Structure 1
Amino acid sequence: MTVAITGATGQLGRLAIAKLKTLLPETEIVALARSPEKVDSGVAARAFDYDRPETLAAALQGIDRLLLISSSEVGKRTAQHEAVIAAAKAAGVGEIVYTSLLHADRSPLSLAGEHVETEALLAASGIPHVILRNGWYAENYTGAIPAALQHGALIGAAGAGRISGAARADYAEAAAVVLAESGHAGKTYELAADTAWTLADLAAELSRQSGREIPYVNLSETDYAAALVKAGLPDWLSAAIAGWDVGASQGALYDDGKQLSALIGRPTTALADVVRAAL
């Protein structure tokens, strides 16, 4: 069996390949990347550019299972994913594993639409597939730690919303397990951390480990977006991040099904460990 991973030079792709190397022989793993020369995982690499659909089927020749890591280009994802799915069908790929969004079918987050559309494309393709609905990466929030330490406060607009955010490595491990094993086709997994936390919890953990008092300051959606713009983020991204926080306040990032830990056979990474790694 030969498995391939798109986005192989990205953060999730690199972690998935590293875990796959412990589950499968390296000769059975193919890294697909826009710049294959940047693949440094020791496995075979092929050029794979979502925006060059005419080249994708050739790159997927001989691939039995494909991990389709969702594109990072919001607004272009559906078209890019459609091209990959069509190429996979033309190349005879036997199974696709797709990284979607937690509770995509009912999520209020602006990101959900393209994931729902991609899930529909997979269903229409006739290719056996697995949907991994990934929850929020804890790193989405720990990335704010440097600014929180600099300014003496962690800011956001998530209120007391509970966030079931797991470490990116946990999601990568789940993807690797599903790629390496049989019996997952046709399933949709809602993947999230075992224990949910709030941004106030994150601030408290950061305070404990840094030895400084770092409170969580909750802002309105408008004020949070404005603060992100002031920090140098583009207007559209600032508005999107603030909107996702509001979604979190409404429960969009919460799940207690523990399907992620069941897949990887261990508890998900604790918030304290994620903060320690970030520091």
Structure 2
Amino acid sequence: MTVAVTGASGQLGRLVVEALLKDGSQPVVAVVRDAAKVADLAERGVEVRVADLDDRAALERAFQGVDRVLLVSGNEFGKRVAQHTNVLRAAEAAGVKLLAYTSIPKAEANPLILAQEHTGTEAVLAEAKIPTTVLRNSWYWENYIGGLAHAVESGTLYGAARDGKVSGAARADYAEAAARVLTTDGHEGKVYELGGDETLSYDELAQVISEVSGKPVRYEDLPQADYAAALEGSGLDAGYAAVLADADSGIADGILTVDSGDLQKLLGRPSTPVAEVFRAALA
């Protein structure tokens, strides 16, 4: 059985390929736009096939002889539903037996800006002619790494999550879970709500940063608009800043709190502690 991963040069896709290589039970195909970015994977026995998510014909060629596909959600906002539909249609035409998709928690009722295209994609998948599996990934602890050094230096972690909590996990945990779905049976038609063992408030995240850095860090909660403005002032694009501030509002409302245990069942172990992720980043 051959498995393929789209977006295999990206942060999550590459980790999924690494998990598949570690498992070693199936031939692996990396579907990418630029083969040069995964030359190292090709040297390790991964078959690299080039296809753009906008090019359905190229995707169909890339999926020839593939049994299972992981569709890692794209990063071109505004185009993702159409691109994901291209992947599904190409997989159907190529005779793929299972397509798994990385989505967002509670997608059917998730009000976040980030959720909109996931909700649209899941609606398309619901009408698929082949079996599908939905992997609703909660937050990656790595999402906070970009602001980690500033939090340590300034002594303040900023956000707009109030006292809401987020069930995060390491990106590699979600990648390993996806690899498990690609290499084991019984996942057809399943929707997995994936979140880590730790469900933490931003006050608690600030405490973890203090512990791993050895410097006092506190959490300062801002109104959503003020947080968006602060992110924009730090150099982020206005649209992206608004998306991140909106995500914090969702955390405040509990939309990224996940207690299903699905991630742990797929992994067969607890999720990676946030302290371990932050300690590695600061090192």
Question: TM-score per shorter chain, which class?
Answer: over 0.9
| Structure 2 counterpart of 1:44 | 47
C-alpha separation between the residues in 2 aligned to 1:138 and 1:32?
26
Among 198, 209, 216, the residue aligned to 1:206 = 209
| Runs (5+) with no aligned partner, structure 1 | none
In structure 1, the partner of 2:15 is: 15
Shift of 1:272: 1.4
Structure 2 counterpart SS, 1:105: helix
Partner of 1:251: 254
Q: Does 1:74 align with 2:77?
A: yes
**Residues 221-266 of structure 1: CA distance to partner in whole angstroms, max 9, x if unpaired?**
1110111111000111111111110111000110111110111000
1:4 aligns with 2:7: no
Q: 1:236 and 1:22 mapped to 2: Cα distance?
A: 38
**Structure 1 length-normalised TM:** 0.97
* AA at the equivalent of 1:36: A
- Among 174, 179, 182, the residue aligned to 1:176: 179
Q: For 1:23-63, what per-residue CA distance to the aligned partner results, in whole angstroms no more than 9, with x for missing partners? A: 2346x110111112211222110102112233211111111
Letter in 1 for 2:28: I
Per the alignment, residue 29 of structure 1 pairs with 28
Aligned equivalents of 2:229 and 2:153: distance in 1? Answer: 18
**Is contact 1:155-1:218 (8 Å) kept?**
yes
Q: Which amino acid aligns with 1:8?
A: A
Tell me which residue corresponds to 2:58: 55
DSSP 3-state at the match of 2:173: helix
1:112-261 matches, within 5 Å, as 112-261=115-264
Please give the residue correspondences for 1:78-97 in structure 2 after superposition, counting only pairs within 5 Å: 78-97=81-100
Partner of 2:104: 101
Distance 1:246 1:25 in 2: 42
Identity %: 49
Tell me by how many angstroms 1:112 deviates.
Answer: 1.5
Structure-1 separation of matches of 2:23 and 2:277? 24
Number of residue equivalences: 278
Q: Is the 8 A contact 2:152 2:210 kept in 1?
A: no
Q: Which moved more, 1:170-179 or 1:132-141?
A: 132-141
SS of corresponding position for 1:190 = strand
The 8 Å contact of residues 24 and 180 in structure 1, kept in 2 or not, is answered as no
CA distance in 2, matches of 1:213, 1:262: 35
**What is the CA–CA distance in structure 2 between the aligned matches of 1:123 and 1:95, rounded to whole Å?**
13
Structure 1 window deviating more from structure 2 (105-114 vs 215-224): it is 105-114
Q: CA separation in 1, counterparts of 2:57 and 2:141?
A: 36
**Is 2:141–2:169's contact at 8 Å kept on the other side of the alignment?**
yes
Q: How far apart are residue 138 of structure 1 and its match?
A: 1.0
Matching residue's letter, 1:230: G
Cα drift, residue 122 of structure 1: 1.5
Q: Please, which moves more after superposition, 132-141 or 49-58?
A: 49-58
Q: 1:260-275 alignment to 2 at 5 Å?
A: 260-275=263-278
What CA RMSD, in Å, does the superposition of the two structures yield over aligned residues?
A: 1.2
Amino acid at match of 1:64: D
Tell me if structure 2 keeps the 8 A contact 1:195–1:256: no
